[in-house]
Structure formats: C-alpha cells, structure tokens
Amino acid sequence: MKPTISTLIEPYRSISIIGMCKNAGKTTVLNRIIRELAGGGQRLALTSIGRDGEDKDLVTGTKKPGIYIREGTLVATASDLILRHCDVSREILAATGVSTPMGEVILLRARSDGSVQLAGPSATSQLARLREDFFQFGADVVLIDGALSRKTLCSRSVTEATILCTGASYNKNIDTVVEDTAYYCRLLTLPETGDAALRRATAELDDPRATVIAGEQGSWTLPAGLAVPDALRREEAAGARSIFFGGALTDFAVKPLIMSSEKLEGLTFVVRDSSKILLSPDNFQRLGRRGVDLRVLDNVNLVALAINPFSAYGYHFNKDELMARMEARVGLPVINAREDAI
C-alpha cells in the first residue's frame, strides 16, 4: 500500500511544493495535504512564492483548482487578494512589511471555512522570517507553494522538506516528462559538500559570485577574468580538491573544462544550491565521465514526487505507465496527485 502525502511529510514542520511547469498539480497536492491533515487537529499555515488559488491561470488561461481552507488556518497573502478573492471570515494578525505587486503581505487567521488566493514573499530571507511568524502564531505545519525556477527558496534554510510535482502538462511526450523529471530530481538531491575549508572561504566572500579553489594550499579566490582551466595550472591551485562557482554553473562555463586536457578526476564542483546548476543533461554526464563530483552548499530535502497524468491542455497519460516509469527512474516515493486519474 502506497503511503499518503501526510504520512510522507509527518516528520516535518515546514514543506514546500514545487512544480516542473504550470499546471503540474501543485495546488492539487496542496489541497490534498489540507484535506489529509484536517482531521488530525494540526493548525496549518499557507503562503505562496507566486500567485496561487485563482480560478484561471493568468498565463495560460486554463482552469485551475481553488484553495479551500478550514477555520483556524493561518494565511499570508497580498492585501488586494484578501479584499477581492478570499471569502473566509478573517482575523488580521500582522502586517509583514513585505511588498508585492498586489499589495503588502498580510498575515491572517481564518475564522471560517472558505476559499483563498495566495501571493506571498519572493525572497529567501522574507520566507524564513514569515515561517517563524507562523510558528509564533501557533502553526504546527507551514506549507509553501513554490516554483522550480526558484529552487533556492526550497532549501533547508526555508523548509525542511520539498515535494516536486510533474506530469502531462510538462510535455506531450511521456519519454520527455520522465527523463527531464528524473534529471531535475537528481539535481535537487545533490549532496552537500563536506569541505569545511571551502565552506569557511565562501562564507567570507566579498563577492558572492566569485570562484574559489580549495586544496592543499588552502583556499584561493580567483582574480576577476582568470578562467578556471588557466587557474588550475597555477601554483596556488596545486592539490586542488574543490572548486566553488559563485555564479551559475552553465554549459558555457564548463565547456572549456570539458574540452581541456587538465586533470579533472577527483575534483568536486560546488555551487550554492541546485538553482545555480544550469547544465544540460549531456554536459552533466560529461563532467561525471571526467571524474567530477557535483555538490552544493545548501541542499533540498526532496521527500516525494507527485505525478499528474492529466494535462491542462486536453490530453493525458496512462496513470499506471507514468507511475511505473517514474518509480523506475527516481529513488523517491511517487504518488498520484490525481486520485481520480484514468
């Protein structure tokens, strides 16, 4: 018997839900968590990185499920949405001082059951602070509706656990959905570096986008304009074991390394978090074949993959085939976001 979503997240007090694309099933998963936890006596708190809960997607124009909450739920959302699109009776608890295009984010307690729309903070520090505000107002579990494009907001500094949603809306080709989802799962679950010297050096950087090489000679911050292949030939890089890339690790950045004759085997490439890895699967594999290990400073605790066999664009996959193929490719619990799927 497959575990329920509530069972998978039971050990955690803060959970983010991210999607591979629009209409991947994030709101469906959020509503399932609300329903599954409703009878357990836990007080939930909700917010969102982007806007969520609207009847129709503002980008694609497709119909979306609303967010239905129970009395006592804590919500942080933009003031304009409270006035126009939240039909619950409410108690205003605090103004957060966080601005959005739809007004200041307000923290409230629902005094009745009803529907809400969410639009919350977009910065890591703001979300972390809001999470603590939720706990101070009595929340037992905090749920954050996130986005794959903002993976940094799903790091453990913000939430203890993350659920990734994927499905037919990502692509009409089931092979593409499975392969790309498996790749993103691999990126999200990259381990954290254990190089203490590199961690100390990155914590002291004046320029967070700088490149740092750590090894037998200690830590060395590369001068601006010095390419990594050239730096590896310098005396300061002798015995290099880790290279921290402060900016994005892109195909353009790694191509000279892949094509170079420099010995890469045994090196560890480190980025701040998986949102900084913008590599194609091919170049990711090429680095692996050259003996490079990829790690992060702050990782994501990905606890489940939720699949949605239905597309918002009028087609669907066979739910059993999608489930079986995902389970074969990812080392995670896989759940069907749509209980009524074909």
- Decide which of 110 and 38 is more confident: 110
Average pLDDT over residues 122-132: 90
List, in order, residues 6 or more apart from 1 with CB less than 8 Å away: none
- Decide which of 142 and 227 is more confident: 142
- Decide which of 152 and 115 is more confident: 115
3-state helix, strand, coil in the chain (%, to 5): 30, 30, 40
Indicate where the chain has its CATH 3.40.50.300 domain(s).
5-189+300-336
The widest CA-to-CA distance across the chain, in whole angstroms, is: 68
Query: Residues 178-188: pLDDT tens digits?
Result: 999 999 999 99
Burial label, 206 (beta-carbon count in 10 A; 0-12, 13-18, 19+): exposed
What gap in Å lies between CA 287 and CA 85, rounded to an integer? Answer: 49
Residue 204 binned pLDDT confidence (cut-offs 50, 70, 90)? confident
> Are the CB atoms for 143 and 120 separated by under 8 Å?
no
Q: What percent of the chain has pLDDT over 70?
A: 92
What gap in Å lies between CA 342 and CA 337, rounded to an integer? Answer: 12
> Are the CB atoms for 265 and 291 separated by under 8 Å?
yes
- Residue 292, both tokens: 């490079």
Give the range among 59-73, 183-197, 299-313 with minimum mean pLDDT: 59-73
For residue 35, give the DSSP letter: H
On the CB side of 315, CA atoms within 13 Å amount to 9
Average pLDDT over residues 114-131: 89
**103 has a pLDDT exceeding 70:** yes
What is residue 3's predicted lDDT score, i.e. its pLDDT?
76
**105 has a pLDDT exceeding 80:** yes
For residue 311, give the DSSP letter: -
The third-level CATH classification (topology) of the domain covering 5-189+300-336 is Rossmann fold (3.40.50)
On the CB side of 173, CA atoms within 13 Å amount to 4
What is residue 14's predicted lDDT score, i.e. its pLDDT?
95
What SS3 class is residue 309? coil
- Residue 132, both tokens: 């603590």
